Structure formats: structure tokens, C-alpha cells
């Protein structure tokens, strides 16, 4: 098992690049020395506390017996160390006893914990969003009861949305709230609830999306409820775990099926206004989607480190002089290692860039909010698809050993697969991007994003490196095609909309590839600049990765998007020449 090492230099650099591209981020409370200290402390937590439990957790998993879930040895202590150190409060405002760090810093912390032990880190993900929801929509009484316990980590929280018969169709939710003798209760069943039952804390607060007592059919009749596992006045709250999933990965992250109200009703509290549940959940989901992208980054980085370590010691074949050599010297393995490094780096840049807009969006800055809304589905889908492919490449580098359960590459591959499903599949993200974002405002928000990329590409007049000039040329050509496809998407109607829904994922992935290549190019130009003060080797790797990404991935993504979405394709479909 490779010993995880937090890539602190890479994380610091990504934060700096994202800050340069966002005036709001540059103006935020972002003290470099303070951030460096926080990153260093988290790296110690990740490397010394979380990581040693990773392989053990995958091997032993969680146990379910008599409605009780037991996590692997060491998990409870690791969580206690995390909570007592105050990590839940990193991104919270000072009035909530937080450290008020920008969201980009908070999500960088997540990367390290995700890489170190993804199963354990998944249980931490919903808490910051839940704290924000209760702070914004909760009554004073709810704030006094729930916020201190969630911030301290005394209680954990879940997002209880999914139901067996509904899946992603929230309008089909059947769990219902009802009033009896003046008290509010919840009755129904939820499935696939991450960390829905565990032994890390005594109490678990379930954020339950359910139909209001007089709620209309569909999504308009949904409200959000606080349903603790234990009643506030003491005793069980009729929330029962009936089993945990036997998954191909993330075996020490219990995914529970929960029954509410089987024996008389689970006591609940309405959060915010009645029938406003969907609006509130989307606030939580949008942040969660960026955090899932960070899950993918954790998987990719861990898989990359493992592949690099193995390729450096695995002797197989001979070099040009006929001497035995490690596989890292074989050209095809070098290509795969470069692809893993370049794409992992691109994922990190994309997440940092999107995260830099979160604080401005919270401050109700209209243009910042629109930019974040455009970026979120792209970042979630592109990063998770790419992260899984990076983990898959890691298995390839390990060869036959990589396909064995005894190999760490197998674990990272299995764990990375769920990211593309979690919090909305790639198809769901594509439909969100195209129909709820781009078409809804006539493509205005997307055009402003493209314009900012174009301005950035043209403003770096000092670029004289031939390789970076090549990359800029490639990005400019791809950006022109992306703008053309976006304009086409805005005007599609009738039967073509079904084709758009079927092929929207290709457009999203092309958009993500253009953004990734731009940010990687920008990073390379900043690393090359004389005043950046980065080591020559670091700068060289940044230029290499920018060239590799543009040369290897822009053209295939562009070809797929164009073939799926161009006017010519639609014309052929309507003429019946292709299906």
C-alpha cells in the first residue's frame, strides 16, 4: 500500500491560480500564511490519522446486526480527532464560531481527507451544507439546538432524499409528513442514504425531503424536515435502519435503508417554509456537487500516487541498451502516467476555480451567482468522469495485479465509480446545464464565461513558449466551436430537443475539457512567469501537462460534441438517415 502524501505544493498553486481568475476571490479574507498553516495541519490529519485506516476499512467494511451499524476499528477515534480539532468550522463565519476561510480553502481540505480515506470523508460532506441551511431557514430554537452540536461534530447529518421507487425523480417521493394531536410526524422509507446509520456519534440528524401534510403532487408539495435519530427529549425517534448496501467499493461508508415511523411515527420539525423543500435542497445539492467533484479528485490523486510508486519499482522488460528496466521507462507507461498527472491537476484547477465563486454567490452577487450556476454541473460531471478514468488508468499500469482485490489500485477504481452517480448522474448534470442554465437565459451566462476565457487567453501577451503558444491556439479553436454549439443549443426546438437530451453529456464534457485546458494553460503561464518563483522542474511539469492535455483530449472531445450536436447531425436525424 502506497503511503499517502498530501500534495501541498500543488494545492497551494491551484488556490493561487483560481484567485487570480476571480476578483471576488482576490478580495476575500485570504491570508496566505494562515492558509498554509491550515493546509499543513490537515495534511498531518490526513496522512497520520485517516490514511492508515483506509485499506483496513476496505478489507473489513461495516457490520450490520440488529439495526446497529458498526464501523471498522479506528474509525470512531479518527472522527473524534477530526471533530475535536474543529475542522467542521473551517468555512463557517465567525458568528458561528468558525474560521471564515473561503470555500476554496475548505474544499482543498476535503481533497486531502478524501484521498486519505474516502469512506470516512464521505460522512463529513453533508455537515457544512446542513449548517448553512439551518442558519438560513431555521427558527431561533432550531439554531440553538442543532447548530452547536453539528458544528462541534457531536452530531452528524444526512441528506435523506432518495426513495426506492423514486430515485432521481423527486416528484415521485412518497414519504409524507402528517399532524397528529398537534405534533408533526414523518412516515416513509428512504434508501441509499450515505452514513444513514453508524456508531461515530450518538445522534444523527436526518434532513428529510417529504410531502407536506397537504402537499400538492409533484415537487411543489415537498418540504424539508429535521428528523433526529434520537428525540430531543430523549429516547428513540422511530427511525430504523433495516440494512446497509453491499457495495463494490466504499465498504466502510455505510449506505443505509431507513424506515421512518414504522411504530407510530417519527417526530419531525419543519425547516423553513412549508412546500419550500426543493428550493432549500438545491442550495444543499449545489454545494454537494462541488464536494463530490472533490471526492473524484481524492480518488484520482490517490490512484496517481499509487501508480507512480509502482511504476518506479516494477522491473519488467528491457531498455534501449538491453538492460532490465522499471516500467516507468516504457513509453506507453510514461504516457499513461502523464495522462494521470495532467488530468488530476486539471480536476484540481477546475474545482478551485468554481469554488472561488461560492463566497461571492453567497453574498448575492448576481454575476458571480450565474457563473457558479453554469460551472457547477460542468465541474461535477467532468471531474467525476475524468477521475474515474484516471483511476482506471491506474489499474492498467499495475497490469494483472491491478485487477486483484489485493491491489490498492483496485480499491481506488471501485470507489471512483460511484462519483458519476452520486448527487446526480452525468446525464442529469447535462440536462441541468443545457435546459435550466443555458437555454433559460438564452445562453447569456455561458457567453460571459466564454468571453472571460477569451480575454484571459489574449491578455497573456508575454507568453513566448512555443508549446504554450500551441496550446493557446488549440484552445482558441475549440472555444470557437464551443460558442457555435452553444448558440445552436439555444435555438433548438421541437423534436430536436429529445436529441439534445440524448447527447447533452457530450456537450458538457467538451465544455469541461475546454475549461480544463484553459486553466491548465493558465497555470503553466503563471508557473513560467519570472515573478512566480516556482522551481524549474515544477514549471516544466506544468508546461508539459498543458501541452499533453490539449494535444490528447481537446480533439476527441470536440469531435464527439460536434458529431452529436451539430446542425448537420440534426438534419440527418430528421431525414431518417441515422437513428
Active-site residues: which are they? 423
Rounded distance between C-alpha atoms, residue 323 and residue 189, angstroms: 63
SS3 221: helix
Query: What is each CA distance from 278 to 9, 146, 163, 283, 542, in whole angstroms?
Result: 40, 21, 15, 9, 42
187 grid coordinates: 412516515
Do 140 and 187 meet the contact criterion of CB atoms below 8 Å apart? no
Beta bridge partners of 222: 211
Look up cell 475548505; give the residue.
Answer: 106
What angle in degrees, to the nearest 10, is found between the helix axes of 103-116 and 32-45?
A: 20
Look up cell 458544528; give the residue.
Answer: 151
Residue 176's contacts (CB-CB under 8 Å, 6 or more residues apart) are 186, 187, 188, 210, 211, 213, 215
CB atoms within 10 A of CB 208: 28
b/e per residue, 466-496, with b = 16+ CB within 10 A? Answer: ebbeebbebbeebbebbbebbebbbebeeeb
Rounded distance between C-alpha atoms, residue 59 and residue 113, angstroms: 19
Query: What is each CA distance from 36 to 13, 69, 109, 290, 324, in whole angstroms?
Result: 11, 37, 11, 22, 42
Q: Reduced to 3 DSSP states, what percent helix, strand and coil does the chain have, rounded to the nearest 5? A: 60, 10, 25
SS3 205: strand
535, with CB counted inside 10 A (0-12, 13-18, 19+), is: exposed
Rounded distance between C-alpha atoms, residue 528 and residue 466, angstroms: 12
Rounded distance between C-alpha atoms, residue 70 and residue 63, angstroms: 5
Do 276 and 291 meet the contact criterion of CB atoms below 8 Å apart? no
Residue 541's contacts (CB-CB under 8 Å, 6 or more residues apart) are 341
Do 417 and 247 meet the contact criterion of CB atoms below 8 Å apart? no
Q: What is the dihedral of CA 219, 224, 227, 228, to 10 degrees?
A: 130
Query: What is each CA distance from 497 to 438, 439, 507, 562, 573, in whole angstroms?
Result: 13, 11, 14, 16, 12
129 grid coordinates: 451544507
421, with CB counted inside 10 A (0-12, 13-18, 19+), is: middle
Of 102, 74, 81, the closest CA to residue 90 belongs to: 102
Amino acid at each position: 500500500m502506497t503511503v499517502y502524501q498530501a500534495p501541498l505544493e500543488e494545492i497551494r498553486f491551484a488556490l493561487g491560480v483560481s484567485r487570480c481568475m476571480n476578483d471576488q476571490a482576490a478580495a476575500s479574507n485570504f491570508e496566505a500564511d494562515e492558509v498554509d498553516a491550515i493546509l499543513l495541519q490537515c495534511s498531518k490529519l490526513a496522512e497520520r490519522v485517516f490514511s492508515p485506516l483506509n485499506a483496513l476499512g476496505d478489507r473489513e467494511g461495516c457490520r450490520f446486526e440488529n439495526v446497529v451499524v458498526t464501523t471498522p476499528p479506528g474509525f470512531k477515534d479518527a472522527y473524534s480527532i477530526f471533530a475535536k480539532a474543529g475542522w467542521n468550522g473551517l468555512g463557517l463565519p465567525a458568528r458561528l464560531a468558525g474560521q471564515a476561510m473561503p470555500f476554496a480553502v475548505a474544499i482543498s481540505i476535503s481533497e486531502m481527507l478524501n484521498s486519505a480515506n474516502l469512506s470516512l470523508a464521505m460522512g463529513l460532506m453533508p455537515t457544512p451544507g446542513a449548517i448553512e441551511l439551518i442558519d438560513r431557514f431555521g427558527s431561533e430554537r432550531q439554531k440553538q439546538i442543532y447548530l452547536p452540536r453539528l458544528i462541534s461534530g457531536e452530531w452528524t447529518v444526512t441528506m435523506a432524499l432518495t426513495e426506492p421507487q423514486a430515485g432521481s425523480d423527486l416528484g415521485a417521493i412518497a414519504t409524507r409528513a402528517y399532524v397528529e394531536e398537534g405534533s408533526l410526524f414523518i412516515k416513509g422509507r428512504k434508501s441509499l442514504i450515505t452514513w444513514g446509520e453508524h456508531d461515530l456519534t450518538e445522534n444523527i440528524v436526518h434532513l428529510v425531503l417529504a410531502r407536506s401534510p397537504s402537499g400538492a403532487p409533484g415537487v411543489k408539495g415537498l418540504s424539508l424536515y429535521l428528523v433526529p435519530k434520537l428525540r430531543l427529549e430523549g429516547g428513540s425517534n422511530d427511525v430504523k435502519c433495516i440494512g446497509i448496501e453491499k457495495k463494490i467499493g466504499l465498504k466502510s461508508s455505510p449506505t443505509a435503508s431507513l424506515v421512518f415511523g414504522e411504530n407510530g411515527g417519527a417526530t419531525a420539525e419543519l425547516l423553513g417554509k412549508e412546500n419550500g423543500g426543493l428550493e432549500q435542497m438545491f442550495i444543499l445539492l449545489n454545494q454537494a456537487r462541488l464536494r463530490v467533484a472533490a471526492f473524484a479528485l481524492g480518488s484520482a490523486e490517490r490512484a496517481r500516487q499509487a501508480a507512480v510508486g509502482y511504476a518506479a519499482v516494477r522491473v519488467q522488460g528491457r531498455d534501449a541498451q538491453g538492460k532490465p528496466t522499471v516500467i516507468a521507462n516504457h513509453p506507453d507507461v510514461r504516457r499513461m502516467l502523464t495522462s494521470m498527472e495532467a488530468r488530476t491537476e486539471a480536476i484540481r484547477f477546475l474545482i478551485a476555480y468554481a469554488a472561488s465563486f461560492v463566497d461571492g454567490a453567497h453574498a448575492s452577487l448576481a454575476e458571480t451567482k450565474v457563473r457558479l450556476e453554469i460551472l457547477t454541473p460542468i465541474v461535477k460531471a467532468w471531474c467525476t468522469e475524468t477521475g474515474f478514468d484516471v483511476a482506471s488508468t491506474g489499474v492498467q499500469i499495475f497490469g494483472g495485479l491491478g485487477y486483484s482485490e489485493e491491489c490498492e489500485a483496485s480499491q481506488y477504481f471501485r470507489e471512483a465509480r460511484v462519483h458519476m452517480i452520486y448527487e446526480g448522474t452525468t446525464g442529469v448534470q447535462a440536462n441541468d446545464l443545457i435546459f435550466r442554465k443555458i437555454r433559460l437565459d438564452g445562453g447569456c451566462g455561458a457567453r460571459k464565461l466564454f468571453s472571460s476565457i477569451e480575454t484571459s487567453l489574449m491578455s497573456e501577451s508575454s507568453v513566448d513558449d512555443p508549446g504554450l503558444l500551441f496550446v493557446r491556439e488549440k484552445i482558441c479553436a475549440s472555444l470557437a466551436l464551443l460558442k457555435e454549439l452553444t448558440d445552436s443549443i439555444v435555438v433548438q426546438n421541437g423534436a430536436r430537443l429529445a436529441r439534445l437530451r440524448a447527447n447533452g453529456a457530450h456537450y458538457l464534457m467538451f465544455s469541461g475539457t475546454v475549461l480544463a485546458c484553459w486553466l491548465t494553460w493558465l497555470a503553466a503561464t503563471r508557473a513560467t512567469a519570472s515573478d512566480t518563483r516556482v522551481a524549474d522542474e515544477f514549471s516544466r511539469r506544468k508546461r508539459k501537462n498543458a501541452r499533453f492535455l490539449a494535444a490528447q483530449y481537446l480533439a476527441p472531445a470536440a469531435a464527439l460534441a460536434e458529431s452529436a450536436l451539430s446542425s448537420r447531425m440534426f438534419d440527418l436525424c430528421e431525414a431518417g438517415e441515422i437513428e
